[in-house]
């Protein structure tokens, strides 16, 4: 891999207009990735799902250079219907469309840049890889006192023109004081055997509200990693919803830093996987000042030969008195070949806090199935009703009614 990645890196540099300083910084990140390699089970945070082995098994040799010169046709049939929305469309890692037609244009700024920042230099090797190969960083600023009138959907699309490629994406959002954004990440991949590496960075100023919904529903054979860093000032709110169902392998990481008093972070997620899929959610909520709140609820429905993991950590700094932190994961295993791993963590250095965590897994209650069948339902209908009831709690935590209805329809939820 070392020789190939160096060759691909040189192609990336030749195709760019980077300054000498930026090239030097990218080389530092490249060398860091080469030294560390893809994460493996040797690392505590990757003990359950080994992406290094998965890439070797499912993809083999990766190519790390993407040619961004071709223009990809946008297939509008994939756009979400029945929901007016703004759009950013990525195809094969390249932005092909940006449309904020519903918004006041003087209230938002959209910029692209090739310049890196070193503030994530001590991060994991996949962020090093992203830093080394990222082509453009897209920055979206929502100005003070402005709430977007319509949701923004970021379409992550690939087509069958690429295979065995590494695609790196980077988006940065800054929400100024009293602003708000509803953001939907919609994944629709028609390619196979690619590794898609995405990094989101959010800055939430005082009283800002972020609602982010990540929807990986459509079946595909790609391997995905998504890292989301959220910095929150006083009285800001972040709400993250994860539907983890479509990709062959998917790991979502959420790192939330509650830097201001009365800031809150909510993470809700659903695993719905089968047929050798492997998915993981890892969350770290850092309570760094007093009077902050977090809530995490992850539920899993695992079918034959599937494997899921949830690692959730609540960290409470010694200054973070009056912290309120809650975390719960529950899993239903529908087949004896399915597997669920949980690692809940509390690391608390303050004494006036209210924190709890828990995890449970098991099969569907056969007595409940028998009861429903005695009322006239078939075995399959009884299972579906119980599963719907199981995941309903997570869906009901979605605070936007319009998006909640969209997700229910996408899942095929039957009330």
Q: Output phi, psi for 333, to 5 deg.
A: -100, 115
Query: What is the maximal distance between C-alpha atoms in the chain?
Result: 74
pLDDT at 122: 56
What pTM was estimated for this model as a whole?
A: 0.94
What is the C-alpha separation between 64 and 73, in angstroms, rounded?
23
Check whether 121 has a pLDDT greater than 70.
no
pLDDT in tens, 240-269: 999 999 999 999 999 999 999 999 999 999
Q: Is the dihedral of CA 75, 151, 88, 267 positive or negative?
A: negative
pLDDT in tens, 343-382: 999 999 999 999 999 999 899 988 999 999 999 999 999 9
pLDDT at 99: 96
Could you tell me if 383 and 352 are in contact, meaning their C-beta atoms sit under 8 angstroms apart? no
Could you tell me if 326 and 358 are in contact, meaning their C-beta atoms sit under 8 angstroms apart? no
Please compute the mean of the pLDDT values over residues 104-112 and round it to a whole number.
95
The number of C-alpha atoms within 13 Å of 373 and in the hemisphere containing its C-beta is: 10
Please compute the mean of the pLDDT values over residues 194-221 and round it to a whole number.
96
What is the C-alpha separation between 339 and 273, in angstroms, rounded?
11
Q: Output phi, psi for 36, to 5 deg.
A: -80, -40
What is the C-alpha separation between 252 and 198, in angstroms, rounded?
10
What is the C-alpha separation between 57 and 50, in angstroms, rounded?
11
What is the C-alpha separation between 11 and 20, in angstroms, rounded?
15
């Amino acid at each position: 891999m070392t020789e190939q990645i160096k060759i691909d890196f040189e192609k990336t540099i030749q195709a760019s207009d980077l300054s000498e300083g930026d090239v030097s910084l990218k080389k530092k990140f490249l060398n860091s990735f080469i030294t560390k390699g893809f994460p493996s089970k040797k690392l505590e945070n990757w003990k359950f799902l080994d992406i290094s082995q998965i890439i070797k098994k499912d993809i083999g040799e990766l190519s790390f250079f993407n040619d961004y010169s071709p223009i990809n046709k946008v297939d509008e049939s994939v756009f979400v219907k029945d929901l007016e929305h703004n759009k950013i469309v990525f195809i094969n890692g390249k932005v092909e469309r940006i449309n904020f037609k519903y918004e006041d244009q003087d209230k938002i700024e959209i910029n692209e840049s090739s310049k890196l920042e070193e503030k994530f230099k001590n991060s994991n090797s996949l962020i090093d890889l992203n830093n080394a190969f990222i082509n453009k960083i897209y920055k979206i600023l929502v100005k003070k006192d402005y709430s977007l009138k319509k949701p923004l959907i970021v379409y992550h699309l690939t087509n069958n023109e690429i295979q065995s490629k590494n695609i790196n994406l980077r988006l940065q959002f800054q929400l100024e004081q009293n602003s708000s954004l509803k953001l939907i990440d919609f994944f629709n991949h028609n390619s196979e055997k690619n590794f898609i590496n995405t990094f989101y960075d959010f800055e939430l100023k005082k009283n800002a509200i972020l609602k982010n919904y990540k929807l990986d529903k459509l079946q595909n054979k790609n391997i995905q990693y998504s890292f989301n860093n959220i910095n929150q000032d006083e009285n800001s709110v972040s709400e993250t919803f994860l539907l983890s169902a479509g990709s062959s392998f998917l790991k979502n990481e959420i790192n939330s830093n509650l830097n201001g008093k009365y800031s809150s972070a909510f993470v809700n997620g659903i695993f719905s996987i089968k047929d050798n899929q492997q998915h993981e959610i890892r969350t770290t909520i850092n309570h760094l000042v007093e009077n902050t709140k977090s809530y995490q609820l992850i539920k899993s429905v695992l079918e034959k030969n599937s494997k899921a993991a949830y690692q959730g950590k609540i960290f409470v700094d010694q200054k973070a008195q009056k912290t309120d932190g809650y975390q719960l994961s529950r899993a239903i295993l529908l087949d004896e070949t399915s597997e669920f791993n949980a690692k809940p963590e509390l690391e608390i250095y303050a004494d006036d806090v209210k924190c709890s965590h828990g995890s449970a897994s098991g099969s569907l209650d056969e007595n409940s199935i028998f009861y429903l069948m005695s009322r006239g339902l078939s075995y399959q209908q009884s299972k579906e009703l119980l599963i719907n009831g199981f995941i309903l709690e997570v869906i009901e935590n979605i605070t936007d009614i319009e998006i909640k209805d969209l997700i229910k329809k996408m899942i095929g939820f039957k009330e």
